[in-house]
Every structure is written in C-alpha cells, then in structure tokens.
Amino acid sequence: MTTQTSELNQEMNTLDMSKIAALQQKRTLAFVNHFVTTNVEFLNSFMCKCEHKLMQFERKIEKVNAAMVLLESKLSSIPELDNTKAPELDNKPQAIETQKQTAQDSPKTEPIVSVEESKETKSEIRPEYEKFVKMVQVGVPLQAVKLKVSLEGLDPNIFEAIMNK
C-alpha cells in the first residue's frame, strides 16, 4: 500500500496542472445548494413530526397523571382503607372458611381479617408501598400502579414482589 501511495505522489508531481480543465463552479455550487436545501427541508419536516408526536405523548401523560392524582385523592378520602387490609388468600384455607362463616353470621360489609393474616400483611408490606397495595385492592390495574410506583421513585420490582406474596 505504501508503494501505491509513493507512485501516486510521483505521478502528481509530474502532472502539469495547467493542462487540466477547471471545475465548473456554478454547476458544483448548484449541486451543493440543492443537497443542502433538500436535507434541511427533510430535517425540518422530520423535526416537526417528532415534536408533534412528543407533544401528543406529553398530553397523554398529563392526562394519566391527572387521573392518578384524582384516584389517589379519592382513595385517601375512604377511611376504611386506612384501617383494614384485604385478606391474603394464598395459604390460609382455615382462615377463609372462618371468614365465610363469620361473614354469613354478621351483617357487616367490611372484610374480616384474622389476627395472623393482619400481622403477616403488615410485616410483608413496607410502609412506602402501602398506598399502592391499596390502589390494587380497590381495582386499579397493576401496570398503572407500577408506573405510579416508578414515578414516585420507588422500585416497581419490589412492589411486584409484594403483590405476588
């Protein structure tokens, strides 16, 4: 490769530049101008489309955030959610039967939680995740709550682990 470079340099030195025709400056300038203007027009239209889509997405996020704020305020206005927890139904068949019998005997509409379950629930749920667990218990979709958890700066994987227990 170095031999080719040295041969090219020797040829360039022996070449008489006065015999080579000049480039057509107007034509070259026209090509460059056309290239620049078409690229600028393309980039401007692309930027406008991206900005438009970004604004639409931002509006959607604002709507979701407003809905989450309203839902949180509605949830915080329910006093029963602060005092009771939903029962864990995984590994407690005796507690479920006891709850069914007690629920039939008493006219209360609140869920009945056994002492063992309430201790387990409180020990498993970290305090910063309690309001999110309440949201799922009320019926908010899990994915929406996980999004809210991440917006609050908490780990959605820990929240999912809590919900899977």
* Residue 52 within any structural domain of the chain: yes
pLDDT in tens, 124-143: 678 888 888 888 888 888 88
The separation between the first and the last C-alpha atoms of the chain, rounded to the nearest angstrom, is: 68
Q: Is residue 34 part of a domain?
A: yes
Give the confidence band of 60 by pLDDT, cuts at 50, 70, 90: very high
pLDDT band, residue 108 (cuts 50/70/90):
very low
In a domain, 69, yes or no: yes
Domain range for residue 35? 26-77
Looking at the structure of the chain, the number of domains it has is: 1
| Residue 123 located in a structural domain | no
For the stretch 55-90, what's the b/e string if a residue is b when 16 or more beta carbons lie within 10 angstroms of its beta carbon? eeeeeeeeeeeeebeebbeebeeeeebeeebebbee
- Report yes or no on 2 lying in a domain: no
> Does some domain include residue 116?
no
Is residue 33 included in any domain, yes or no? yes
Largest CA distance in the chain: 112
